[in-house]
Structure 1
Amino acid sequence: MYIRELDLRDFRSWSELNLDLNPGIVLFVGRNGFGKTNIVEALGYVAHLSSHRVNQDAPLVRQGTSSARVSATAVNQGRELTAHLLIKPHAANQAQINRTRCKTPRELLGVVKTVLFSPEDLALVRGEPAERRRYLDDIIATRTPRLAGVKADYDKVLRQRNALLKSASSAMRRGYGDTEGASALSTLDVWDTQLASLGAQVIAARLELIDQLTELIPAAYEGLAPESRPAHIAYKSTIDVTDREVLEAVMLAELGAKRQREIERGISLVGPHRDDVELHLGTAPAKGFASHGETWSYAISLRFAEFQLLRSEDSDPVLILDDVFAELDAKRREKLVKLAADVEQVFITAAVDEDLPENLIPMQRFEIGVEDTDSGRISILRTPDKSPTEEDTAAPRIEEKEHGESDKAGDEDV
């Protein structure tokens, strides 16, 4: 897969951006804060319907504007689709594929597939369980968009159940003998049933993914840090997952067992929203015991495994390396370069050329600057496009394959 065209309007620091892109390595160079990461963030948002930097949509919309638009034309094994996404912080986002308006933005999932390496990946190892849950859920949504809907429905039921636990806690403590308490407990029964049904599907999908990553992640880690302790992962759940055929019944029973504690605390204590992925090095947890280098190796291994899994099922996802070379030593830079060697398209951002490996020759290069306007500072392209010269092509390069171009499909703004 490669992105043939990327258009932004009022996305973060970009008032407008139009890029005609080719397969191979696409390089964005610009000082920190100039907006290069905003470009790859926009592409990642179309792929995952979320940002790797923030949890809300409001920061994605340029100050003083009401919405942002991202359009990406992806070519996948000769088939071309354009995904349009209108981001509205105070209303529902709108999506469109070519000229067809989507009922929900989730229909965009799978049109664009990306795997992103970024400094924020350290949080996968050092951060809270939510980071690791999101890692799993993003991969699941990319591979099986239907399950993204299941996860969204689960989150909705969870919010409603938590709201009931908080608002009707006093009534529920009085039990079924009280009219108000009986009504609240009956409603809680309904939410329990729905939460167990949806939660079991989420857990089952995560367990299946863990099965597939169990060998990929340790192998990737050993390749990066052969001198280190072996890596292994495990899924830690709030329910017994020994028998995957009865997850729904087990979760419903656990909700019953924890009901009194949940009523007292006003929060749901059982379900995939409280699960975690345990990352180990040898017999010790990686979090808190891994060195800085081991943490980086583990984080890269998680992304390596994600990329390899998606590649094995379809064409290459677009590989995004966002400001990571400056953070890595020579050995880990070399490993990333090897990964990028035969990928159909790679987006790389860097503050300065000195951060890049010497043998990395881009097919396209864009230099990012800023400009002060009446509406504030915006990002601009200083150099629209720079393709390799004949002298460049004589040097070692990562991407040397020839690719054909497809005709642009008709599209229109969302």
Structure 2
Amino acid sequence: MYLSKLGLTDVRNHQATQLTLGPGPVVVSGANAQGKTNLVEAIHYLGVGSSHRTSNDRALIRQSAERALIRAEAVTDAQARLVVTVELNPGKNRAAVNDVVVPSMGEAIGLIRMVMLAPEDIALVRGEPNDRRRFLDQLLGSRRASYKGVLADADKALRQRNALLKDARGQAIDEDVLAAYTETWLHHAALVTAARIAGVNALAAPLIEAYGDLVSASPSQDVHRLPTLDYVMATGERITAHSDAALPSARDIQDQLQAALMQKADDERRRGVTLVGPQRDDLFIRLGELPAKDFASHGELWSLALGLKLATVGIIAETGDQPILILDDVFAELDQYRAERLAQRCVDFDQVIMTVATGTPVPVDAPTIMIEGGQVLL
């Protein structure tokens, strides 16, 4: 898949931007604060339904404007034309697919498949568990849209159970109601956990390949210090990805969660919150035998984050169109060796959109779009 046209109306500092694009790599260049990241942020919104920089949709609407419009035309792997339009409003957002308004945003979001690496994504390695859970959920949702419903059901069931525990904290609780909420939550939580573990397992080999390729040109890098992924459950169980052990089924996970709930029942009632489950799980990344979060260098952190995103592209492509790869200000964070390796990999993708600050060397032969003050310079 690749974007052939992109239109932004009142999106941040883009009052009226129209781009015509082709397959392959493209560089978006300009000075800082001119609108490069705003442009790819809009594509990210079409892909996952949110900004990678803020949870407030209102922030995407240009000051003094009442709404913002993002319109993208893409060419699928089957050479079909796909048009997705999203209108951001302070009230309710609206969307259309091939110029037909759809009942819900969920029917439009994700049709434009994309994977983005931005400076914020270094948190995938050294950030909080919630950053890695969000990464896994976006990966799984991009791979199969049905996962979004599974996750939403689990979140709803968790909120209901937590509300009951909180309201009854320090008091008698209706055991029948708690049992009913717990049964519903266990079912959905097990499905989420099983999907995440399978996703981590699928990531393992592509991550090792991508990371090894990125660092193999660097004379200072020990290429034998390759990454390993573990999924660490709040129950204490650690599952190493791509190992010989069979992946646990949703039924096995549900039984394990239920046993853990029984052990923590008193603590949950005292604290008024659910203490086990996918909302407390983590993705653990090792380099060799050491936790990358604590021992990786800055270059290794970036290579791991980039390796995760490159691996994600292939995994998503297994279930449909190959996603567009967006690299937001990435080359400024890489040394010459890694930058050249990444440039060589860019030719493998249908489309790669790279933002760079003016003067940043990019070892890629690609057309360049100049951005200044939210406008395209011809």
1:38 equivalent in alignment to 2:41: no
Q: Which structure 2 residues correspond to residues 228-377 of structure 1 after superposition, within 5 A?
A: 228=222, 229-239=225-235, 243-244=248-249, 245-352=251-358, 354-358=359-363, 360-363=364-367, 365-370=368-373
1:380 equivalent in alignment to 2:375: yes
**Residue 8 of structure 2: SS of its match in structure 1?**
strand
Which residue of 2 is the match for residue 386 of structure 1? Answer: none
1:324-352 superposed Cα distances (whole Å, 9 cap, x missing partner): 11111001111110111232222111111
Q: What CA distance in whole angstroms lies between the structure 1 residues aligned with 2:92 and 2:153?
A: 16
Query: For the Cα contact (< 8 Å) 1:109–1:145, is it kept in 2?
Result: no
User: Which residue identity lines up with residue 87 of structure 1 in the other structure?
Assistant: L
Q: Which structure 2 residues correspond to residues 49-198 of structure 1 after superposition, within 5 A?
A: 49-76=49-76, 77-89=78-90, 91-169=91-169, 173-175=170-172, 181-182=173-174, 185-198=175-188
Q: What CA distance in whole angstroms lies between the structure 2 residues aligned with 1:9 and 1:61?
A: 9
C-alpha displacement at 1:142, in angstroms? 0.8
C-alpha displacement at 1:17, in angstroms? 1.9
Deviates more, 1:12-21 or 1:205-214: 12-21
1:5-41 superposed Cα distances (whole Å, 9 cap, x missing partner): 1122222222222222222222211111111101111
Q: Cα gap change, 1:92/1:146 in structure 2, threshold over 3 Å: closer, same or farther? A: farther
C-alpha displacement at 1:81, in angstroms? 1.4
Deviation beyond 6 Å, 4+ runs, structure 1: none
Which residue of 1 is the match for residue 2 of structure 2? Answer: 2
Query: For the Cα contact (< 8 Å) 2:8–2:71, is it kept in 1?
Result: yes
Give unmatched runs, 5+ long, in structure 2: 240-246
Q: What CA distance in whole angstroms lies between the structure 1 residues aligned with 2:159 and 2:31?
A: 41
User: Which residue identity lines up with residue 381 of structure 1 in the other structure?
Assistant: V
Which residue of 1 is the match for residue 242 of structure 2? Answer: none
C-alpha displacement at 1:271, in angstroms? 1.3
Q: Cα gap change, 1:341/1:161 in structure 2, threshold over 3 Å: closer, same or farther? A: same
Q: Cα gap change, 1:10/1:186 in structure 2, threshold over 3 Å: closer, same or farther? A: farther
Q: What CA distance in whole angstroms lies between the structure 2 residues aligned with 1:305 and 1:331?
A: 19
**Residue 103 of structure 1: SS of its match in structure 2?**
coil
C-alpha displacement at 1:272, in angstroms? 0.8
**Residue 34 of structure 2: SS of its match in structure 1?**
coil
Q: Cα gap change, 1:268/1:95 in structure 2, threshold over 3 Å: closer, same or farther? A: farther
Aligned residues: 361
Q: What CA distance in whole angstroms lies between the structure 2 residues aligned with 1:94 and 1:67?
A: 11
Q: Percent identity?
A: 37
C-alpha displacement at 1:301, in angstroms? 1.1
C-alpha displacement at 1:94, in angstroms? 2.4
Which residue of 2 is the match for residue 406 of structure 1? Answer: none
Larger radius of gyration: 1
TM (norm. structure 1) is 0.81
Query: For the Cα contact (< 8 Å) 1:44–1:51, is it kept in 2?
Result: yes
Which residue of 2 is the match for residue 394 of structure 1? Answer: none
User: Which residue identity lines up with residue 136 of structure 2 in the other structure?
Assistant: L
Query: For the Cα contact (< 8 Å) 1:12–1:38, is it kept in 2?
Result: yes
C-alpha displacement at 1:174, in angstroms? 3.0
Query: For the Cα contact (< 8 Å) 1:74–1:111, is it kept in 2?
Result: no
Q: What CA distance in whole angstroms lies between the structure 2 residues aligned with 1:97 and 1:369?
A: 30
C-alpha displacement at 1:313, in angstroms? 4.4
TM (norm. structure 2) is 0.89
Which residue of 1 is the match for residue 195 of structure 2? Answer: 205
User: Which residue identity lines up with residue 382 of structure 1 in the other structure?
Assistant: L
**Residue 174 of structure 1: SS of its match in structure 2?**
coil
C-alpha displacement at 1:92, in angstroms? 4.0
C-alpha displacement at 1:44, in angstroms? 1.0
Q: Cα gap change, 1:63/1:165 in structure 2, threshold over 3 Å: closer, same or farther? A: farther
Give unmatched runs, 5+ long, in structure 1: 176-180, 371-378, 384-414
C-alpha displacement at 1:260, in angstroms? 2.3
C-alpha displacement at 1:289, in angstroms? 0.9
Deviates more, 1:9-18 or 1:31-40: 9-18
C-alpha displacement at 1:312, in angstroms? 4.4
